[in-house]
Amino acid sequence: MTEMVHTKPRFSITRRITYGAVLLALTLALPQLFHFVGGGQAGAVFLPMHIPVLLGGLVLGPVFGLGIGAFAPILSYAVTGMPMAARLPFMIIELAAYGFASGLFYQIFGLHKKWIGVYAALIGAMLIGRLVYALSIILAGSFFGFVNMRLQAVIAATITGLIGIVVQLIIIPPIVLALKKGGQLDGFIRNREQLK
């Protein structure tokens, strides 16, 4: 009689790339949908591009999160002309920070071990992303003399995006928890013991 050996699912780079491609496609599709339904300001209010970027970090880890976050605005600009060229560098920096921080908190710092951890990782990533965005605006204003690029721009963008932040807190955690419960994250979140 043969004994069955249960092994943990292996980390799959192919599956990670596939998930990443789907999330990257969503960074293009969601903003278009929101602009179509809600008009020109819908992107600034609902922050639809942030959703797949934050999901990318939480589900795929900090490196993929950073890549999706950095590449999403570039791809969007190349395909749709949005965001505006002047805003593009700041969105690249901000979204890369969101993707990296969400993966760092959730996967590397171990917040995936408790269900509440997804909320903590998400809020932490939002704070880091806004802080990085604020620093990039302040530095650009100081070094290049852009008068209209000050902390007020960051505060205004945050206030405008409050609805989007609430939407992210409502939508993202249940998606991550459902994927985790369904075994879809097996092999993506690796324990420190597996890394030794």
Residue 103: its pLDDT value, please?
96
Residue 16 phi/psi, 5-degree rounding, is: -65, -45
So what's the pLDDT on residue 142?
Answer: 74
Report whether CATH 1.10.1760.20 matches the domain 13-182: yes
173 vs 170: CA distance, rounded Å: 7
The rounded average pLDDT for each run of 10 residues, N- to C-terminus, in the chain (196 residues) is 47 85 96 84 88 97 97 95 89 97 94 92 96 88 66 81 94 95 79 39
- Residue 11's pLDDT is 53
Within 39-87, where are the H helices?
A: 42-46, 50-60, 62-80
> What is residue 147's predicted lDDT score, i.e. its pLDDT?
55
What's the Rg (C-alpha) of the chain? Answer: 18
Domain extent listing, the chain: 13-182
Give me the pLDDT at residue 176, please: 96
pLDDT at position 15:
87
Look at residue 195 in the predicted model and tell me its pLDDT: 36
pLDDT in the model for residue 23: 97
- Say what the pLDDT of residue 189 is: 73
pLDDT attached to residue 191? 46
Other C-beta atoms lying within 10 Å of the C-beta of residue 61: 22
pTM over 0.85: yes
Count Cα atoms within 13 angstroms, Cβ side, for 196. 3
d(CA 101, CA 23): 17
Structure confidence at residue 92 (pLDDT)? 97
The single-letter code of the amino acid at 60 is L
